[in-house]
A and B are shown apart, each in its own frame.
Chain A
Amino acid sequence: MRDKQIEDLKDYKYGFSTDIESFKAPKGLNEEVIKFISNIKKEPKWLLDWRLKAFERLKVLKEPDWQKPKYPKIDYQDLYYYSAPKSFKDKPKSLDELDPKLLETYQKLGIPLNEQKRLNGIAVDAVFDSVSVATTFKETLTKQGIIFCSISEAVQKHPELVKKYLGTVIPLTDHFFATLNSAVFTDGSFVYIPPGVRCPMELSTYFRINASDTGQFERTLIIADKGSYVSYLEGCTAPMRDENQLHAANVELIALDDAEIKYSTVQNWYPGDKDGKGGIYNFVTKRGLCKGKNSKISWTQVETGSAITWKYPSCILKGDNSIGEFYSIAITNNHQKADTGTKMIHLGKNTKSKIISKGISAGFSDMTYRGLVDISPKATNSNNFTQCDSLLMGNKCGAHTVPYIKNKNSDSNIAHEATTSKISEEQLHYCQQRGLNPEEAVGLIVNGFCKEVLQQLPMEFAVEAQKLVGISLEGSVG
């Protein structure tokens, strides 16, 4: 079983590409392309105007360059900003009308969209290149008033909600990649949980980049109305390609009074080959707003893929008594690079935040935890606890911790702890004496190291993530 997994990894299990004829916007970034996207999606004028406003702003914004992992300049004119399977030009009405090749792709990924073979208790929205291809369990959810659909569909069917919340957490002008996304976003998921409803199942989006030379710019918007609860999962894979592909998504979460959103990510984009060729640039903006009193937003991420991961899922704790959490495992191997962490902005009274970050670097990789904890003068009686641990395997890799801590309130407490270490020879010896080979021993110890974070994941994801943790480090034990 395990050997098979190792074999799978060696070839990056998800590295196949699907031969589907796709329908693309012309290459390049300009007003015409934006209008094209808006037009094909039959968007209302306000949204087109919104996109164009973002594009205007983009012209004066500079790409940030303060991050640790550097990358060659991206030619934004040499990318496709819209790609959809051709059979989608007139969107199929039901799953039966889906291109069988697409269904097959998702089957290979282990995500059956087929109604008969649906994943147990998880509603899935699958995004293939630029468009959402299928959403399962729709009826069950509709009965409770839950809206779970592609954002394109939401623009058509629930424009009042989209208009009210889109861009309220990540403003149009935020920063280069967020603004780029606002101008050209193609699809993504939309979730609305009505007041008092506890979403009965995990909601999940599965992202897949297939076409080459294509950037993926999805946009996710989740609104948990008063007293509601939702747990949302996100998974990602891409084919193996020699060139780097850009993925610049925006995710906005809004929790109103007494609402809770749990957002989990298992990111396994193609990381590039052993020599660092190819792989996804995962430059994602994720931000949650605890808008209401007693609201809670919890981010959990397991980041094992991508050539470069650069993201800081953040919480703005605006409502009094609101809670923000960030649990992260980031693993880099070979030539992968990651610069990830979170921001906890405390604005309301009695707000609490917790950050648990576990970074593991191996091979020639480089990993940075970067985080901000900011307690504003008005956030009386707030507190933060941060624990950042790094594990290094070999001396060709790097592990860095860069926390920014700002306390402007004397009634609030911030505590930060960080350690960097390696797996001790003694621990390895102990495990080996009990019959485990070195790789199994490392897998076991690393999973132990990550336990606090793995525990946060929903069951179905936790098992997958645990395997991924072990597999990502294969070949790193010398």
Chain B
Amino acid sequence: MEEQLKIDFEKNLKDFSYSDQEKKFKETNFKEFLKQGFPNRKLENWKFSDLNQIIQSNIGELTFYNDYKKENQIDKIELISELEHNKIIIVDGKIEKIDFKFEDQDKIEVLVEQGEENIRENINSLINLNNAFSNKFCKIIIKKNYSLKKPLVIYHSTNKNTQFKNTNLRIDFKLNENACLRLIDIFKDNSEKNFLNIYYNFEIDKSSILKNYKIDKSINNNVKYSYNNVKQQVNSISETFILSSGSKFFKNEINCDLLGQHSSAFVNGIFDLDDENHHEIKSNINHLVENTKSYQLVKSVLEKKSKAVYQGKIFVSSEAQKTDGYQLSNAILLSENSEFNAKPELEIYADDVKCSHGSSSGSLDENSIFYLMSRGLNYKEAKKLLINGFLLDVIEKITDEEIKNLIKNLLGVKE
């Protein structure tokens, strides 16, 4: 792999006229990745999902070079018809189209940024990989007091010829004071056996609201990793919802720093897994000042040989008095070969806090099934009804009605 990496990295550097600073940034990150490689189970964070091994067994040897000059076809990409939206279309980690047609153009700024070294980059080797190989990245700034009229949908797709490839994407978002952004990520791939690596940075200023809905529903054989790095100021809110379902492997990692008082973070998720899919959500909610709040709810429905992992961590620093932190995960194992792993973690250094977590996993309640069947439903209907009820709890946490309905339709959940 090392040879391939070196060749592809050189090729990538040659393609573009990077400034010295950019070059240095890329080289530093590249070296760090070479040193560490893909994360494996020896790292605490990757204990339940050995990415190195997952890539080995699902993809094999990867290539890392991407031709960012090539124009990709985007007219065949299936768009959401249920709701009007702004869009960004991404193919193989390259931004092909940015369209904010519903918005006041002077309220949104799109910059093509260089790699900044001052951002905390030593998160894990995948961020290094991303910084080394991603294209010049895009920064989207929402100006003060502006709420986007329509949601922004980012379509993530791959070219149908792309295979055995690692693609990288980085986008930074800045929500200035009192701004609001609804962001939907939709994953729809046209090819298989690739490793998609996505890195988002969010700066959420005073009184701003970010809602990020990640929808991985279409079935594919790709391996994906997504990292959201969220920094929140006074009175801000972040809401993250993850529907984790279609990919072969998907790990969603959310790091959220609550830096301003009265800021709050919500992380909700559904694992709806089948076949041999293996998905993970890892959250780090860092309560760093007084009076902050976090709430996390993750539900799993696991079929066949699927495996879901939820590692949710609440960290409370000694300054963060009056923290309210809550976390719950429930899993239903529908097959004798499915597996649920959880590591709900609390690390607390302040005494005046209210923190709790709960986790449960087990089979579908046979008594409830029996009850429903005695009322005339067949086994399949009864099961579907119970699972819908089980998942509805999380879906109801979605604060945006339009998007809530979209997701209900996607899951076939009715009230």
Report A's interface with B, CB cutoff 8 A.
66, 377, 383, 390, 392-422
Contact = CB atoms under 8 A, between A and B. Distances in A.
Given A407-B333, A413-B361, A416-B358, A390 B346 contact: yes
A79 to B, nearest CB: 30
B2 to A, nearest CB: 26
- 7 tightest Cβ-Cβ pairs between the two chains A and B: A413-B362, A410-B333, A392-B351, A401-B346, A405-B342, A416-B359, A420-B355
A408 B306 CA distance: 10
B347 interface: yes
A407 B347 CA distance: 24
Nearest to B316: A420
Nearest to B330: A415
Contact of B362 (A392, A397, A407): A407
Contact of A397 (B47, B337, B349, B353): B349
Given A415-B359, A416-B358, A418-B357, A403 B349 contact: no
A417 B333 CA distance: 19
A398 B347 contact: yes
Q: Which of B360, B361, B362 has the largest count of A CB atoms less than 10 A from its CB? A: B361
A420 B360 contact: no
B350 to A, nearest CB: 5
A410 B346 contact: no
Contacts of B348: 390, 392, 398-400, 420
Given A403-B345, A416-B358, 19 more contacts: A377-B337, A392-B350, A395-B351, A396-B318, A401-B345, A403-B344, A404-B47, A405-B341, A405-B342, A407-B340, A408-B339, A409-B336, A412-B363, A415-B362, A418-B358, A420-B348, A420-B355, A421-B353, A421-B355
A405 B360 CA distance: 9
Contacts of B335: 410
Interface in B285-343: 318, 321, 331, 333-343
21 contacts: A390-B348, A394-B351, A395-B351, A396-B318, A398-B347, A399-B346, A399-B348, A400-B347, A403-B344, A410-B335, A410-B338, A411-B336, A413-B360, A413-B361, A414-B361, A415-B362, A416-B358, A417-B356, A420-B356, A421-B354, A422-B352
B44 interface: yes
Contacts of A399: 346, 348
B334 A410 contact: yes
Contacts of B363: 410-413
Nearest to A424: B352
B56 to A, nearest CB: 22
Q: Which of B47, B348, B351 has the largest count of A CB atoms less than 10 A from its CB? A: B351
Contact of A400 (B339, B340, B345, B362): B345
A418 B350 contact: no
Interface class of chain B by DSSP: strand
Contacts of A407: 331, 333, 339-341, 361-362
Contacts of B345: 400-403
Contacts of A401: 344-346, 357
Contacts of A403: 342-345, 359
Nearest to A400: B347
B379 to A, nearest CB: 16
A471 B352 CA distance: 23
Nearest to A381: B363
B133 to A, nearest CB: 31
B356 A414 contact: no
Contacts of B336: 377, 409-411
Contact of A402 (B321, B343, B351, B355): B343
A407 B359 CA distance: 11
Q: How large is the interface on B (under 10, 10 to 19, 20 to 34, 35 or more residues)?
A: 35 or more
Contact of A395 (B340, B349, B359, B361): B349
Contacts of A414: 359-362
Contacts of A377: 336-337
Contacts of B47: 404
Contacts of B334: 410
A159 B318 CA distance: 55
Interface string B173-203: 0000000000000000000000000000000
A405 B344 CA distance: 9
A421 B346 CA distance: 12
A394 B363 CA distance: 41
Nearest to B344: A403
A405 B359 contact: yes
A396 B319 CA distance: 10
Contacts of A420: 346, 348, 353-356
Nearest to B343: A404
Contacts of A406: 339-341
B299 to A, nearest CB: 14
A403 B346 CA distance: 9
A415 B347 CA distance: 20
A411 B359 CA distance: 16
B346 to A, nearest CB: 4
B88 to A, nearest CB: 38
Contacts of A408: 339
Contacts of A413: 360-363
Nearest to B47: A404
Contacts of B318: 395-396
A98 to B, nearest CB: 48
A392 B358 CA distance: 19
Nearest to A413: B362
A421 B347 CA distance: 12
Nearest to B310: A405
Contacts of A400: 345-348
Nearest to A393: B351
A405 B357 CA distance: 13
Nearest to A374: B341
A419 B331 CA distance: 20
Contact of A417 (B331, B352, B353, B358): B358
A420 B344 CA distance: 13
B103 to A, nearest CB: 43
Contact of A405 (B343, B349, B356): B343
Nearest to B354: A421
A405 to B, nearest CB: 4
A341 to B, nearest CB: 12
A420 B287 CA distance: 14
Contacts of A410: 333-336, 338, 362-363
Interface in B347-399: 347-363
A416 B344 contact: yes
B122 to A, nearest CB: 20
Contacts of A393: 351
Contacts of B333: 407, 409-410
A398 B360 contact: no
Contacts of B340: 405-407
A403 B310 CA distance: 12
A418 B346 CA distance: 9
Nearest to A417: B358
Contacts of B342: 403-405, 416
B346 A415 contact: no
Nearest to A380: B336
Nearest to A387: B358
Q: Which of B348, B352, B360 has the largest count of A CB atoms less than 10 A from its CB? A: B348
Nearest to A392: B351
A418 B344 contact: yes
B352 A398 contact: no
B159 to A, nearest CB: 38
A405 B356 CA distance: 16
A409 B343 CA distance: 17
Contacts of B321: 395
B339 A418 contact: no
